[in-house]
Amino acid sequence: MERASVDATIHGRNFGRIIITSNPLDEIAEVWDAVRFAAIDGALLAAAIFLMTMWLVSRSLRPIRNVSDALARLRNGDYSVRLKQNGPPEFSEMSGKLNALAATLQSVTDANHRLVQKLIHVQDEERKEIARDLHDEIGPHLFAMRTATASLFTQAKTPQIDPVRIAKACERLEENVASLQLLNRAMLNRLRPTALRELGLSDALRALVASICENHPDLRITLAAPETLADLDETTALTIYRVVQEGLTNIVKHARAKNAHIVITQERESLRIRVDDDGIGVSIDQARGLGLLGMSERLRSLKGTLEVIRRKSGGTALEARLPCVPDATSF
């Protein structure tokens, strides 16, 4: 608190002194009121800015929540999810890529379902074919063997044995046993080629080519394969054999070709198998047949590929690629 005194002189006459004393409470009150109003205004402004910021952030992060929800649905197997491509360019691009991923997963899932159904159908057809062979081919031979055995048993019980009849019965038995052996070998070779283990891949392929040429003399087949095929593991070798077998089977059944060429080349750590023909080509249904479908899935399981090429000059090429795993002890 401050004081000041002033002489009170009017017209030369002194009336005394005037003392002026300051009171700071008024100033403090005014300053406090100003500070309070400023604080209230600042708090309201800060709250408004905070709410606006939260709203903007929430709106900006909404695409991320949508992407997170979409990924959760994809994880649970719902591939029908699709996101709207709006918002900032980065989020729009992210939504587009996620939609493409969902579409691809849906396509792959549908293809797998169709493949499983077709593979089940192939297994059923294979079982039917084996059952038909057992009934139509092996059944009559077994019946003939049973008849010959009954004849031998009857002859053995008679007082006078007829050597001629016994010899004929033994001859029938021998013929039926030989036929059963051929049928058994053919069925085993269809299920798993015995020549592949006995001869090796190169010789087994040559035997396959020779067998087809013998049964189809109008078809000329050439085979070019490196000697290093003997160093492949058993699974890869069997796959190569099946690819060539499937290609030649399709040529014989559908191509009406005069010439076929089999070329197997090794490119660093991969193998390329190509079966060409000069026939009439294959239709889309044949290219998507059960045999090629199963072969494609077999190659895919080995990280390989299978492609059916219809050449402009005529004919068809079946080309397979797969990694090779050396294993000299397999054969």
Q: What pLDDT, on a 0 to 100 scale, did the predictor assign at position 275?
A: 93
Q: What is the pLDDT of residues 195-228, one digit of tens each?
A: 677 778 888 888 889 888 988 889 999 999 887 6
CA 294 vs CA 145, 255, 300, 321: distances in Å: 38, 20, 10, 15
Q: CA 281, CA 284: separation in Å to the nearest integer?
A: 10
Highest mean pLDDT among 37-51, 88-102, 130-144, 282-296 belongs to: 37-51
Torsion of CA 48, 51, 54, 56, to 10 degrees: -60
**What DSSP string describes 290-302?**
HHHHHHHHHHHHT
Query: Rounded to an integer, what is the distance from CA 248 to the centroid of its chain?
Result: 26
Nearest to 218 by CA among 245, 275, 251, 257: 257
pLDDT band at 331 (very low <50, low <70, confident <90, very high): very low
Q: Using the predicted structure, report yes or no on whether residue 274 has a pLDDT greater than 90.
A: yes
Percent of the chain at pLDDT exceeding 90: 7
Q: What pLDDT, on a 0 to 100 scale, did the predictor assign at position 313?
A: 74
Are the beta carbons of 266 and 228 closer than 8 angstroms?
A: yes
The mean pLDDT value for 232-243 works out to: 86
Question: Which of 276 and 268 is assigned the larger pLDDT?
Answer: 276
Q: Where are the domains of the chain?
A: 3-75, 91-191, 196-323
Q: Using the predicted structure, report yes or no on whether residue 262 has a pLDDT greater than 90.
A: yes
Q: What pLDDT, on a 0 to 100 scale, did the predictor assign at position 330?
A: 41
Are the beta carbons of 273 and 317 closer than 8 angstroms?
A: no
The mean pLDDT value for 12-31 works out to: 74
Q: What pLDDT, on a 0 to 100 scale, did the predictor assign at position 166?
A: 82
Q: What pLDDT, on a 0 to 100 scale, did the predictor assign at position 220?
A: 93
Half-sphere exposure of 84 (CA within 13 A, CB side): 5
Q: CA 214, CA 76: separation in Å to the nearest integer?
A: 56
> Could you count the other beta carbons within 10 Å of the beta carbon of residue 304?
21
Q: How many Å is the Cα radius of gyration of the chain?
A: 46
Q: What pLDDT, on a 0 to 100 scale, did the predictor assign at position 326?
A: 54
Q: CA 31, CA 26: separation in Å to the nearest integer?
A: 9
Q: What is the pLDDT of residues 304-321, one digit of tens each?
A: 999 888 877 778 889 999
Q: What pLDDT, on a 0 to 100 scale, did the predictor assign at position 260?
A: 93
Q: CA 208, CA 206: separation in Å to the nearest integer?
A: 5
The mean pLDDT value for 113-125 works out to: 76
Q: CA 46, CA 35: separation in Å to the nearest integer?
A: 16
Q: Which helix (H) or strand (E) holds 311?
A: none
Percent of the chain at pLDDT exceeding 70: 89
Q: CA 319, CA 301: separation in Å to the nearest integer?
A: 16
Torsion of CA 224, 247, 197, 189, to 10 degrees: -140
DSSP 313: T
Domain spanning 196-323 has what CATH number?
A: 3.30.565.10
Q: What pLDDT, on a 0 to 100 scale, did the predictor assign at position 263?
A: 94
pLDDT band at 61 (very low <50, low <70, confident <90, very high): low
Q: What pLDDT, on a 0 to 100 scale, did the predictor assign at position 329?
A: 43
Q: Which helix (H) or strand (E) holds 192?
A: none
The pLDDT mean for the chain works out to: 80
Nearest to 112 by CA among 258, 249, 300: 300
Are the beta carbons of 278 and 259 closer than 8 angstroms?
A: yes
Q: What pLDDT, on a 0 to 100 scale, did the predictor assign at position 288?
A: 56
